[in-house]
Amino acid sequence: MSPDAPILFFDSGVGGLSVLGPTRALLPCAPIVYVADSAAFPYGTRSEAEIAARVPALLAQLVDRFKPRLVVIACNTASTIALDHARAALDISVVGTVPAIKTAAALSKNRVIAVLGTDATVRQPYVDDLSHRFAADCVVIRNGSSRLVELAEDKMAGRAVSPQEVRAAVQPGFDREPFGDAVDVTVLACTHFPLLLDELVAAFPGMDFVDGSHGIARRIAHLTRGQPWPDAAPPGKAIFTGGLPSESLIASLCQFGIEEVGAL
């Protein structure tokens, strides 16, 4: 294993930065390549068949180009649909994202929790399985919001996003459910959504929000334990499949140690 072999993070947009941040804290010298499949953004409105075909094919191309030590699918939609396909297609370890339903169930006093993700994620059987295994004594509400993904992208591109906008993007999903007003813990089942945590807390006072980003970071650290790293972190790289992003977004990427930005 070369010390220069990077960890490759993959998402449809910038949501995977919520996983990259905790990983950087645990592995400060790790070389990073971040890939945003902006040409196909947002995944949450695309068909399962399209995602299942596109993600493994694109990852195979990226692995061939960057020779990473590990691939992280830092996207709940891609993980719930294409993780097994990607693992079958690649000959290196692939880490996916798992909705933190177990954590939410442990925290809930009302025994009513919500899984807040994209429309594609919340309808997956994977969510049903996790709910059955870890939240069988809870009412589990599925709340899909593609608009919230767009707001997270807007925030990272430098636009101020208000709690009122966030509430308007989320509240209708609660209103449609008989127990929606009893939710006390919400799982952020899209990696974009922790980027809006401050706005979510302000929009829904008294509600707890949980996500799996720190658990994923610990999993990455475990899988790379004992591997060599550079003495200091090289500049992180970001690749966008849909062309170069805005200057304001490039400035936001610098906060995560990403200094080189290109297009695929």
pLDDT tens digits along 190-199: 999 999 999 9
Structural domains of the chain sorted by starting position, each given as residue range(s) with its CATH number in brackets: 7-97+214-263 (3.40.50.1860), 101-211 (3.40.50.1860)
21: pLDDT strictly greater than 90:
yes
CB 16 within 8 A of CB 191: yes
264: pLDDT strictly greater than 90:
no
Both tokens of 20, joined, read 């990259």
Both tokens of 172, joined, read 């209708």
β-strand partners of 34: 9, 238
Task: For the full predicted model, state whether its pTM sits above 0.75.
Answer: yes
44: pLDDT strictly greater than 90:
no
Using CB atoms within 10 A of its CB, is residue 229 exposed (0-12), middle (13-18) or buried (19+)? middle
CA contacts within 13 A on the Cβ side of 226: 1
- CA nearest 32: which of 223, 191, 215, 232? 232
CA dihedral 169, 73, 261, 66 (to 10 degrees): -170
1: pLDDT strictly greater than 90:
no
73 φ, ψ (degrees, to nearest 5): -85, 90
Q: What is the mean pLDDT of residues 120-134?
A: 92
**Mean pLDDT over all residues of the chain?**
95
What pLDDT, in 10s, does the model give residues 228-243? Answer: 999 999 999 999 999 9
Cβ neighbours around 202 below 10 Å, total: 14
- Annotated active-site positions, please? 75, 190
d(CA 246, CA 227): 35
Q: What is the mean pLDDT of residues 209-229?
A: 96
